[in-house]
Structure 1
């Protein structure tokens, strides 16, 4: 047996993963955020990663028997774009370099976005899409983008930005409405539970500019509804319906330009069952299971395993 060890130190989660014999083991932990706040400064994120990474690594290897280390992978940047940088990723990159050097094994670096997409392909059992073009949505606290992913010689897949949110990101909208309703950060799971209690129906016209969307109106409308005494569960459902309407409109616009391409949805916001069900039924889209939707090192482990010829 030989292990692939992977790290991801995003702005929200410290994550480790181990790929062995076609199975992935994970240990991850959210970064602590003070009540009422919607995130962390990068300096605080770096500090917490330094504290959490050793504990998670110990827990991961305690979860499995020891084996030979074959390669190490990590996310070193947010996206595969020139100048893409975020300090929190230097923690995982540095630890991965150290581990690879000590063991004398290869180190592979990828973008956080590539890891998200790869985790979705693994979870949806669609690794075949690595060999063909597809449309991938990455929807999280810091990103709402749709990219064209295609095979590449020097990358697991090349990504080209096709559409995005022009203001608030999907996760930001969810978390801001969550704070408005007194929900903990990150608000996605609790907002979903609250929305499930609503019987309200909405007809929403998303704010679009071509295939790009604008999500800032979601927060404004939810604040107005709260001031008017609309029940919290209806506000929560309106938020999710609005986000769904925007993603639906983006997907429809992109499929007109790229007909027939498979749709893949990745990122923490895409663990929402309400959104997942609607887009799966309409487009036959691929989604990651919740354990592989939020920030995780599993996709980095998959990409590293592919570089090593194990997948």
Structure 2
């Protein structure tokens, strides 16, 4: 049983093959001009159309037909969730499934992130039980109560969220302020690790929800004051960590003891991983399964068709 997974997010063109384990996990970042903070959807669609054949080529050149195709067709599982960039992956997936005469399975980008993170952490068994999952990326900062639906797929219910800026947006905006290339996560982390003194942070909370817009404003003030770039980078990441910490604390107090998973590109950050895994025994994906990738769609297609 081999399943192909495709994901065309606003950051990355990706495809993966899963056959009980991930055999391929290929991706290309979407190109962003220096100094810019992201892409318009029309530009993202254009780049995916160009890049997806390149990403798929090494997989398709082997001439091995798949038994099913999984694809991220929407950002989230909520009704009306839509983003044009996912139409590219959806169209390619439909064409390939039709050519191979195999089933196609549609998932949300968020479901894919959760599945890829669980696989990387060696915890796919959590798909059979309730758990708390954080999806922390450029487009999402959400805490989700996840439980299997009648098909055994992860169904996520929103439990808490950022009320304004998303964590990945904060990382990228602060990174661009500091002259780092977009997307800024890896370089901002390297810079932050150079700052070893304590930084003072105070998360802005409303119940279990957080507000992250203050991170951008305070960081801009630090830049104007001539503070060390490493201090500003560390302040940004520690502020995000403090907000996620308070969100998790509040939700576990409300819903009782649950396994905790952190997924999404921002969660590849080692500072966040160290803080949250120690306190909550939380599970994190390896960096290659934290950032946007097609592995989750392939894993879920395999689970749905063959069981897992």
Aligned to 2:33: 34
C-alpha distance in 1 between matches for 2:23 and 2:288: 11
Aligned to 1:259: 256
Instruction: Return structure 1 stretches of 4+ with deviation > 6 angstroms.
Output: none
Unpaired segments of 5 or more residues in structure 2? none
Spell out, residue by residue over 1:130-176, the C-alpha distance to the aligned partner (whole angstroms, 9 max, x if none).
11100000000000000100011146021100000000000000000
Note if contact 1:121-1:127 (Cα within 8 Å) is conserved in structure 2: yes
Q: Would you say 1:238 and 2:235 are equivalent positions?
A: yes
Q: Would you say 1:22 and 2:21 are equivalent positions?
A: yes
Note if contact 1:27-1:60 (Cα within 8 Å) is conserved in structure 2: no
Spell out, residue by residue over 1:209-234, the C-alpha distance to the aligned partner (whole angstroms, 9 max, x if none).
00000000001111111111110011
How far did residue 205 of structure 1 move? Answer: 1.6
The number of residue pairs the alignment matches comes to 308
Q: Would you say 1:302 and 2:299 are equivalent positions?
A: yes
How far did residue 66 of structure 1 move? Answer: 4.1
Note if contact 2:4-2:298 (Cα within 8 Å) is conserved in structure 1: yes
**SS state at 2:198 partner:** coil
Deviates more, 1:220-229 or 1:283-292: 220-229
How far did residue 20 of structure 1 move? Answer: 2.5
TM-score (norm 2): 0.98
**SS state at 1:197 partner:** coil
Please show how residues 132-147 of structure 1 align to structure 2 within 5 Å: 132-147=129-144
Aligned to 1:117: 114
Aligned to 2:5: 6
How far did residue 310 of structure 1 move? Answer: 4.8
How far did residue 60 of structure 1 move? Answer: 3.1
C-alpha distance 225-168 of structure 1, shift in aligned 2 (>3 A) = same
C-alpha distance in 2 between matches for 1:227 and 1:22: 49
C-alpha distance in 1 between matches for 2:100 and 2:220: 54
Note if contact 1:8-1:75 (Cα within 8 Å) is conserved in structure 2: yes
Note if contact 1:9-1:15 (Cα within 8 Å) is conserved in structure 2: yes
Please show how residues 134-173 of structure 1 align to structure 2 within 5 Å: 134-154=131-151, 156-173=153-170
Note if contact 2:127-2:152 (Cα within 8 Å) is conserved in structure 1: no
Unpaired segments of 5 or more residues in structure 1? none
C-alpha distance 155-86 of structure 1, shift in aligned 2 (>3 A) = farther
Please show how residues 70-109 of structure 1 align to structure 2 within 5 Å: 70-109=67-106
Note if contact 1:72-1:106 (Cα within 8 Å) is conserved in structure 2: yes
Please show how residues 268-279 of structure 1 align to structure 2 within 5 Å: 268-279=265-276
TM-score (norm 1): 0.97
CA RMSD of aligned residues (A): 1.1
C-alpha distance in 2 between matches for 1:304 and 1:232: 44
